[in-house]
Structure 1
Amino acid sequence: METLHQSMWDLIDRLKEPSLVLKIQTCFGVLPRSNIEYEPSNEKSDLKSLGPVSQDTGQSIDRSHVYESTDGVSPVNGVTALRKSKISTTSTDEVSSGSPKKGQVQGQRKKPSIKEATLGATDAVSSESDSESKDYVVTNRFWYYLFCLGTALGDEIFYASFIPFWFWNIDGAVGRRVVLVWAITMYIGQGIKDIVRWPRPSSPPVFRLQKKWALEYGMPSTHAMVGASIPLSVILYTMDRYQYSITCGVLFAIVWCSVVCISRLYLGMHSVLDIVAGLVLVLLLMIPLIPLVDSMDHFCLTHKHSPFLLTTAAVLMVIYSPSGDRWTPTRGDTTVVLGVSLGVHVGAWTNYHLGTMQEPFPKPTLPHAILWPSYEMMGLMLLRTALGFSCIVATRAICKWASYATLRAVLLGTNKSPNEPSSSRAEVAVELGYKFFTYAAVGFITLYLLPGAFRLLHIERPTFYTEI
């Protein structure tokens, strides 16, 4: 038994190792810049005149087409260099200070010794390290853009577009259940992060291609949890409502989840253990959640005191959500998720209790055959989407400004940008408060005000108010 216990901890330690993440990055074409050497050149020459030499072939690479692009990706004759700033051969970070040693070309980058590299990798133990490596080269554009897209599938932009689009154009009954699953899994995952407090993979040795979530703890990966829970819940809630190939749906879900998970390793934001723990956790959660969410959705839609109970529960969950030993964006992201979920279900409840949402009579036979949209349906879908997203952007901007200004004036009485990190309790209350109010308003107009406007304009989806 003791041997099994020790073996388990050894496996956990191996899965936590940053070297595994580095191997995955190398496999998909993220390489150290030190693998590309530069020919000696005049100190006053421009970067474009430099000719890197391939270690494999010994041939110089033409740099005549090198440029700095806005997305930080610069092609170098088939090699893509990611930069934080323009490289200079006279930079103090890359050129040895003082007179060059014997045999060393002046202006040439000094490679770190093995001892220096080892010490740097050992000392960088958390994501907040100030000495994170930026010395990497991306050699495959396809993987880079694919995994940037994959990580965006767990970002705010995806939620803000996927959730409204689903309600306006596909199925509201499935949408409400998926939102509940999303909110519960995200709340649990984000809470565990601030309880466990395991840092993200150290950089170096890992190359961190993205720093948006660098301040958060890494265990478990909520990207992996959402990447598995959303497609899986969509399949489970649609398989009895629509006629389609379940095998194709499962394959699509596997590809979706794989791209999201690998993207977090590729970008250097999670260890393999973070990903595995997120997937295992969400699969365990889905067993009780799927039937539970069915019952919860019916209660939230039909109970006369549902908005009061939901609002109270959401506010308490925000207030008592776990917090780490330092400020991180985790609680703010959790508040956004809870606000959206609350707004969506209060909007649906309003439709139901005002009588606009009713079950069709006679009740249709399930599962439905999927109807491919005609040109007219496609046009209405695009019109709903364009008008709806425009209203959501405007609502978010107005509510963010109004709620932040109001809360700031009441609690602190000073001006401060809502994008600045919060430290004091009052500042944290302002941040969480304006995010909660703003995204609850976004969820509410998505389910109540905008479908009503579509109905007045005669561009509504015919079955929207029958999906209970």
Structure 2
Amino acid sequence: MWSIVEYLKKPELVVTVQEWFGIKYADSKAEKYMDKEGALYDHNISPNLERNQYSNYPEHKKHRRKQSDESECVSTSNKTSDKNGSNETDIANKGYQITNKFWYYLFVIGTELGDELFYATMIPFWFWNIDGAVGRRVVFVWSVVMYTGQVLKDIIRWPRPGPPVKRLQNKWSIEYGMPSTHAMVAVAMPFSVVIFMLDRYQFTATNGFMIAFVWCLVVCVSRIYLGMHSVADVIAGIVLTICLMIPLVPLIDRLDHFVLSSAFSPLFVIGIPILLITYYPCSDKWTPTRGDTTMIMSVTTGILIGAWLNYQLGAFQPPELTSTRPYEIIWPTHRMLGSMILRTILGLCAVIATRALGKSIAYAFVCMLLGRDQNEVKASESTLENRDKIIVELSYKFFVYGSIGFIVNCLLPNVFKLLGIERPDFYTEI
């Protein structure tokens, strides 16, 4: 059994997948496999570059050095011999050449379906324009699956594929690779949407599961194609998520009623995530997984608190007795489509404003409580020893993203009602 796992972990298997989808490596097998010592490293990037890979976060931009991973893949002599056409230039500068643009763009788009930008747009859109009852359950599944995957990454600590693999993307490189949380969310999100909608709406289950399967396949293969995960990472993510969803789906259906109706629900909805974040397992080095997990847990907390408040205020009413489930899917009219676009634009603007304003206020407030200068904290290096910065960042993320979850599911829908552009079935969300 372990021999199979070791085979699936091999970086050479990733290279095989990349080549099958049209990535041409610089040289023959001899060059690709000669650097066996390189496989001992956690990443096929230099230590200095690794510390600065997480470039999407503003607090790390000051520490980022202006060098690319591409310069690590080739020798100086190769860089100067790029006058024989674009193909030779690509291979000389990058160590690889993309020969099939279709697969490249498909997998670049596919990997974004499991990324932060996708969550930030899809989740609000779903609550504002489709169905809040399904949305709550899907977000619940998402948070449990992602927390499990992120924790296991820092416990198992398996590196991402090393040499001879060439990475077409370096976002998240500083994180460990096992299991692939992209693969986990690729199973959890689309399949949970289909499962929870089956009981509420009239549609062909086969079509729904086919779309979910294609979605999952594209995201999973994209992680191997981009050189970010081994085949073992992806398979482990898929299997783990299936095992989690078997008990989760029926359990969350029951928990949803408790979250909405119990007077003590906020104590659990807020308290449990705080405990899970506080006692998050420590890694052997600083990685962004704990901060990302905090954002996921806090968004879920805000959404559930918003749903609880709506229920307690009487905003959620059971469907009329004449309404029978599963409901017929109502396709939007021109007026409904216009309201949908307006809700989305106004809502996303409010989310962006909340994030910007909330971050400034929360960051400054937590620094004040710790007696630290916020500029000094922002400029300091992110390490396990820098506990003040960890506390500040986790605290502000929990507050800011919890607030975003709350306004998405509670404040903004009520604002839309005042403006006369609310979703017609917002008040049948049980």
Instruction: Please state which band the TM-score falls in when normalised by the shorter chain.
Output: 0.7 to 0.9
Taking a change above 3 Å as real, the CA distance of residues 207 and 302 of structure 1, as seen in their structure-2 partners, is same
Structure (1 or 2) with the greater helix fraction: 2
Letter in 2 for 1:126: H
Letter in 2 for 1:166: W
Deviation at 1:418, TM superposition (A): 5.1
Q: Does 1:30 align with 2:23?
A: yes
1:20 counterpart residue number = 13
Is 2:145–2:185's contact at 8 Å kept on the other side of the alignment? yes
Deviation at 1:193, TM superposition (A): 0.7
Deviation at 1:30, TM superposition (A): 1.7
Q: Does 1:162 align with 2:122?
A: yes
- The separation in 1 between residues aligned to 2:345 and 2:414, in whole angstroms, is 16
Which ranges of structure 1 fall in alignment gaps of 5 or more residues? 1-7, 36-111
Q: Does 1:196 align with 2:156?
A: yes
1:284 counterpart residue number = 243
Q: Does 1:243 align with 2:229?
A: no
Match of 1:260 among 219, 223, 233: 219
- The separation in 2 between residues aligned to 1:167 and 1:23, in whole angstroms, is 41
Deviation at 1:186, TM superposition (A): 0.4
1:44 counterpart residue number = none
Deviation at 1:410, TM superposition (A): 2.2
Give 3-state SS (helix, strand or coil) of 1:368's partner: coil
- The separation in 1 between residues aligned to 2:367 and 2:294, in whole angstroms, is 18
Letter in 2 for 1:184: V
With the length of structure 2 as denominator, give the TM-score of the two structures.
0.85
Is 2:184–2:240's contact at 8 Å kept on the other side of the alignment? yes
Is 1:128–1:215's contact at 8 Å kept on the other side of the alignment? no
Give 3-state SS (helix, strand or coil) of 2:97's partner: strand
Aligned positions of 1:322-341 closer than 5 A: 322-341=281-300
1:463 counterpart residue number = 425
Q: Does 1:449 align with 2:366?
A: no
Aligned positions of 1:387-466 closer than 5 A: 387-414=346-373, 415-416=375-376, 422-423=382-383, 424-466=386-428
Letter in 1 for 2:328: A
With the length of structure 1 as denominator, give the TM-score of the two structures.
0.79
Q: Percent identity?
A: 52
Give 3-state SS (helix, strand or coil) of 1:324's partner: coil
Give 3-state SS (helix, strand or coil) of 1:413's partner: coil
Aligned residues: 384
Give 3-state SS (helix, strand or coil) of 1:31's partner: strand
The Cα offsets for residues 322-361 of structure 1, whole Å up to 9 and x where unpaired, read as 2211000110110010010000000111111111222133
- The separation in 1 between residues aligned to 2:204 and 2:33, in whole angstroms, is 56
Is 1:128–1:214's contact at 8 Å kept on the other side of the alignment? no
2:43 counterpart residue number = 126
Is 2:149–2:179's contact at 8 Å kept on the other side of the alignment? yes
Larger Rg: 1
Give 3-state SS (helix, strand or coil) of 2:35's partner: helix
Is 2:178–2:236's contact at 8 Å kept on the other side of the alignment? yes
- Which piece of structure 1 moves more, 418-427 or 307-316? 418-427
The Cα offsets for residues 245-277 of structure 1, whole Å up to 9 and x where unpaired, read as 111111101100001101100111100000000
Taking a change above 3 Å as real, the CA distance of residues 178 and 115 of structure 1, as seen in their structure-2 partners, is closer
Letter in 2 for 1:28: F
The Cα offsets for residues 27-46 of structure 1, whole Å up to 9 and x where unpaired, read as 112222458xxxxxxxxxxx
Taking a change above 3 Å as real, the CA distance of residues 402 and 315 of structure 1, as seen in their structure-2 partners, is same
Deviation at 1:210, TM superposition (A): 1.1
Deviation at 1:120, TM superposition (A): 5.3
1:141 counterpart residue number = 101
Aligned positions of 1:195-214 closer than 5 A: 195-202=155-162, 204-214=163-173
Which ranges of structure 2 fall in alignment gaps of 5 or more residues? 48-68, 74-93
Deviation at 1:416, TM superposition (A): 4.3
Give 3-state SS (helix, strand or coil) of 2:284's partner: coil
Letter in 1 for 2:382: S
Is 2:38–2:44's contact at 8 Å kept on the other side of the alignment? no
